[in-house]
Amino acid sequence: MNAIEHGAQFNSTQHVEISYIRAKHMVLCRVKDPGEGFALDEVRHAAIMNPPTDPVRHTAIREKQGLRPGDFGILLTRNIIDELIYGEMGNEVVLIKYLKSDQLETN
């Protein structure tokens, strides 16, 4: 959703590219949007930037900027995905999840 909202600006003439690879021991997903990109240290309004002592600080920043509630996406993804690799421009990301032995296909 971030790629559609922030990168493509919900513009139906813009396209978000999504690629998916399922290998024996991992799942890889690549998402690229048409936007200008971003740098993680610039997204002060995102939950990922909250200090441990103030886990909802970003909500006040978002409210001041007139943004809707939310922006937990990067934080949640970092806690679920094993590797999160951003492209240099910040409009492309590769997500890698390594599979445990009980998640492997037995075919």
Whether the predicted pLDDT of 86 surpasses 80: yes
Band (pLDDT 50/70/90 cuts) for residue 95 is: very high
Tell whether 6 is covered by a domain: yes
Q: Is there a domain that residue 31 lies in? A: yes
Reported as half-sphere exposure (CB side, CA atoms, 13 A), residue 87 has a value of: 14
CATH of the domain at 44: 3.30.565.10
Q: Is residue 13 part of a domain?
A: yes
- Decide if pLDDT at 48 tops 60: yes
Q: How far is CA 74 from CA 11, 51, 92, in A?
A: 22, 15, 13
Which of 86, 85, 82, 76 shows the shortest CA–CA distance to 98?
A: 82
Q: What is the pLDDT of residue 15?
A: 96
Which residues does 26 contact at the CB level (< 8 Å), separation at least 6?
A: 96, 97, 98, 99
Q: Which residues pair with 26 in a beta bridge?
A: 98
Q: Please, what is the average pLDDT of the chain?
A: 87
In a domain, 37, yes or no: yes
Q: Is residue 107 part of a domain?
A: no
Domain span at 89: 2-101
pTM score, whole prediction: 0.78
**Residue 74 falls within a domain, yes or no?**
yes
pLDDT at 105: 66
